[in-house]
Amino acid sequence: MDMKNIMDIKKIIDTVELSLLPPDLRPGIGRSLPPYPNKEEMFGWASDIVKITDEYKDGQFRRSGSPGDAKVREYIKNKLISFGIPQVKDQPFEFESTTYENWKLTIDSEDVPCFFWRNSKFTDSEGLKAEAIYVGRHIPLDGSIEGKVVILDVIPGDSSRTSYAKAAEYVHDHVRYFDKDIITPAPNLSKNMPEAFYAAQRAGAVGFVGILDYPTGTNKFYPDVGLSVRDLMPGVMVGKGDGEKLKAKFKDNSDKIHAEIVLTGNINKRAQSGNVVGILPGVTDEILIINTHHDGCFSSAVEDASGIASVLALAKFYAEYVPDLRVKTLVFDFEGNHWSWDYPYGSRKFAEQNPDILEKTNAVLGIEHIAREMKVEDGKYVDAGHPAATTLFSPDSPELKKIVIDAIIKNDLTYTVVPYRSGEDFMIPAQTRWFHLQGFPVFQYISGPEYLYLADDTLDKIDKDRFEAVNRTFIDLIERLQYIPRNRMIPGPTNHISKPINYNL
């Protein structure tokens, strides 16, 4: 037996001996940890990403397939290389991209500020001209909207603070935030959309105007698949204040009111985005994936420059870690196409391009949205003085759930709930959803403040002071998961498949 084989066997023996110790003793045995990620460095990376994004504000920010998207992928790749990650892969893929270049709404020859409704149908350069009708919150089915442009009040979705606690197995909340039965707006959710869009089209409408209800009056909303529509008719959105003026016009005018919608752009059937994947070998080839997404709709500081910065920090930390005590191989997965119809498309492409990684994956950890809660004063978002409510999804295994709760308590990760189920009763609303559906244990940090998907998602919305607690929580999770064998994390064969399911409608 040569010296290399002897050393390999010694590493395995050392690892097994270490795994027999109580978990809380392991970190102090035979090593010193590298410096923990610090908030200044993480916020600096997030700031870099937002700065790059804003340089392309006239070119789609960092929406999938845009120059800003490509530039941020390059930034991530260079950071991973600079940390000493030995394998860094840029894994491009093609997809169909719809880009809007011109949008305009005119009501009786008066321009109304608007924004395109994502994935709605283009007009020709002359635009669509038709009579307009205001219908309130519901689509009438009496034939009155046939051939007309429908103007609808979009009813926002909401959530109750107490609903978080009612669905939670564990709540970490010193100030009893989740005890207060306060209704707050929820991002990217509506009580009448997109169903109203489809109902209007079926009833013969030829165009659509949605009046948003954001208290800031914004019309700059770029929804993901949850509130996108199909290209059945042109659609635009207007802000709350402009919508009130529109409604007053209908109330005070018995004559016919005419609308004109111009919505032009292009469809690229071979647009390119991609995933950036960094692989850090461990003593064994069992794998933990650490995941986020890199694209964004506007500046997208919280969603998801904050997630990118958090995963970069974990990559740097473990690159500096004692190699012989890095038991499992770590894969840092920065995915694209978060806004695809085939959500989450980046995860599906990751699976398609990395079947060897999936075969050895024990668990997936995701970080998205390190966010501050905001309130509205004088039509502007201002800091509410605390973090946004957070959910940390956990596998249903009592052993794994206890690890999550222990890490939250140790790092005092306030304003956080752990749902009592993450399978049958909860669909994880994050990039890790695909992995969860395929049977992999998933640990997912995510918050959902109302300003996600809006142009208001700027650097001041990131909870800079929360970065360190979040990352230390995930370091504690990884430290424990490194010593749990695969058969205790995934008791039976996983049901993942080599060819991803296509959820296109």
Kindly report the CATH number assigned to the domain that includes residue 358: 3.40.630.10
Q: Is residue 83 part of a domain?
A: no
Give which of 61, 38, 76, 43 is closest to 291, Cα–Cα.
76
Q: Do residues 379 and 216 lie in contact, with contact meaning Cβ atoms separated by under 8 Å?
A: yes
Tokens coding 382: 């201002």
What DSSP element (H or E) covers 316?
helix 307-319
Q: Do residues 335 and 344 lie in contact, with contact meaning Cβ atoms separated by under 8 Å?
A: yes
Summarised one tens digit per residue, pLDDT across range 228-273 is: 999 999 999 999 999 999 999 998 777 899 999 999 999 999 999 9
Residue 165 burial by Cβ neighbours in a 10 Å radius (0-12, 13-18, 19+):
middle
Note the helical H segments in 99-216: 161-166, 195-202
Residue type, 122: F
39-54 vs 67-83: helix crossing angle, rounded to 10: 150
Q: Is residue 232 part of a domain?
A: no
Q: Is residue 45 part of a domain?
A: no
Q: Do residues 428 and 393 lie in contact, with contact meaning Cβ atoms separated by under 8 Å?
A: yes
Q: Is residue 392 part of a domain?
A: yes
Residue type, 120: S
The per-residue pLDDT for 499 is: 34
Give 427-480 as a 3 state SS string. CCCCCCHHHHHCCCCEEEEEECCCCCCECCCCHHHECHHHHHHHHHHHHHHHHH
Give which of 173, 172, 246 is closest to 209, Cα–Cα.
246
Give which of 278, 282, 392 is closest to 335, Cα–Cα.
278
Q: How many domains does the chain have?
A: 1
The per-residue pLDDT for 283 is: 95
How far apart are alpha carbons 420 and 167 in whole angstroms?
6
Q: Is residue 315 part of a domain?
A: yes
Give which of 345, 334, 434, 430 is closest to 93, Cα–Cα.
345
The per-residue pLDDT for 33 is: 81
Residues in the chain: 505
Give which of 194, 227, 203 is closest to 133, Cα–Cα.
203
Buried/exposed code over 347-370 (b: 16+ C-beta within 10 A; e: otherwise): bbbbbebbeebbeebbbbbbbbbb
How far apart are alpha carbons 371 and 460 in whole angstroms?
9
Q: What does DSSP say about strands 416-419 and 168-172: parallel, antiparallel, or unpaired?
A: antiparallel
The per-residue pLDDT for 20 is: 47
Give which of 228, 229, 350, 226 is closest to 293, Cα–Cα.
350
The per-residue pLDDT for 29 is: 47
Note the helical H segments in 334-416: 345-353, 355-359, 398-410
Q: Is residue 333 part of a domain?
A: yes
Give which of 411, 394, 416, 415 is closest to 403, Cα–Cα.
394
Tell me which residue range forms the domain holding 410: 281-489
Q: Is residue 84 part of a domain?
A: no
Q: Is residue 15 part of a domain?
A: no
How far apart are alpha carbons 115 and 238 in whole angstroms?
7
Task: Find how far residue 119's CA is from the centre of its chain.
Answer: 19
Residue 109 burial by Cβ neighbours in a 10 Å radius (0-12, 13-18, 19+):
exposed
Collect the ranges in the chain with pLDDT lower than 50. 1, 3, 6-7, 9-30, 492-505
Give which of 14, 19, 8 is closest to 482, Cα–Cα.
19
The per-residue pLDDT for 428 is: 81
Q: What does DSSP say about strands 87-107 and 110-112: parallel, antiparallel, or unpaired?
A: antiparallel
